[in-house]
Amino acid sequence: MSAPERPPINKDEVEDLRRLFFDKYSADEGGGIFDDRDIDRVRADDNYLHGFLMIGKMNKQDALTKMVDALKWRKEWGINDLTFEAFPDWALQIGGLYSRGKDKVGRKILWFKVATHKKDASRAEWVKKYIAFWLDKLHKENPGENIVLVEDMTNAGLANMDMDVIGFLIKCLELRFPAVVGMLYVYNMPWYLNAIWKIIEKLLSEESKAHIKFLFGDDVQQYVSKDHLPPHMGGTDTYQWVWPPPDNEDSVEEISILQNTMDETFEQASDNLSSPAPSDSPPDSPPGGSGDVVNGTEAVTNGDVRIPPKNQVVKKGGDVGTAK
């Protein structure tokens, strides 16, 4: 069963909701219970308001109540001020949550590797904020579009199941970031976690249940192509999250795809570098680009895209480090 399609925006309904909000909360402009940046978003972003109309089932008063609740929460949690640098290193380095690739219909994928999370009350608040940060980041980067959340349960066990964090995630998906996640794919959930799922299921609305699909083995390839899947899902993408993150995620994805298909190119470049250069080509420049030595290893430049050796990754600021 596929998820229900996102209905088109009704401009009149959106404008009515906007008017209801400002009729009631215009005095809050300039500071108060809402973040001014969110007020600006309500004023200008039809897609954002449309999301609340969807979860309010097109009832404007219900949508207004849900929107006000979400906006208050955003101010209390400082969502607009969250950046990568705001988080402790451990939250960034474990690679438990990151965006990478797209599904077959073009929606960005947010990966949640459940096995990397251990229940720890001292860290729970940071984990929740990191989830909110990623959902907000992708929501703003893709206005009016859905994303896909892949909850990878590979190697997960009871120690990784934190009901507090799960409850927070459900609330985010249903209320805090309305209509952002088009599908939640739960991959390879162990049979011994079925009892916990029965508890989680009771927390979900019927609408949310229609957006969840359980996948096992190669099933995931029906929805995500192999070049956007990691090897344990039968894919060819060997990317691993590293911190600090690259400055330009799209460029890094392009580099990764190029690396997957450039074995022969690297071999040819090595042959060219080890043989005498033609008289009309500088001796330190392979055909089609220039040689750049990084940590004692040649890196090939292809046009504007700098391709590091296969076992290295581009880090923030253009530095190159060894992939984990």
Q: Per-residue confidence of the chain (324 residues) as pLDDT tens digits?
A: 455 566 788 899 999 999 999 999 875 554 589 999 999 999 999 999 999 999 999 999 999 999 999 999 999 999 999 999 999 999 999 999 999 999 999 999 999 999 999 889 999 999 999 999 999 999 999 988 999 999 999 999 989 999 899 999 999 999 999 989 999 999 999 998 888 888 888 888 888 888 999 999 999 999 999 999 999 999 999 998 988 766 654 444 444 444 444 444 434 444 444 444 444 433 343 333 333 333 333 333 333 333 344 444 444 444 444 444
**What single DSSP character describes residue 6?**
P
Structure tokens at 316: 């923030």
The rounded distance, in Å, linking the Cα atoms of 95 and 115 is 10
The β-bridge relationship of strands 320-322 and 297-302 is unpaired
Residue-wise burial string across 152-179, b where 16 or more C-beta atoms lie within 10 A, e elsewhere: bbeebeeebbbeebbebbbebbbbbbbb
Residue 27: predicted pLDDT: 59
Residue 248: per-residue pLDDT: 52
> By the 8 A CB rule, do 97 and 131 touch?
yes
Supply the pLDDT for residue 36. Answer: 92
Q: Which residue has the tokens 């980067």?
A: 141
Give the pLDDT of residue 208: 85
Q: Could you tell me if 182 and 6 are in contact, meaning their C-beta atoms sit under 8 angstroms apart?
A: yes
CB atoms within 10 A of CB 213: 17
CA distances from 321 to 22, 82, 97, 105, 252 (A): 50, 26, 21, 33, 13
The β-bridge partners of 306 are: 301
Per-residue pLDDT at 209? 87
Q: How far apart are the first and last CA of the chain?
A: 38
Specify burial of residue 73 (Cβ count, 10 A radius: 0-12, 13-18, 19+): middle
pLDDT at 309: 43
Q: What is the pLDDT of residue 204?
A: 85
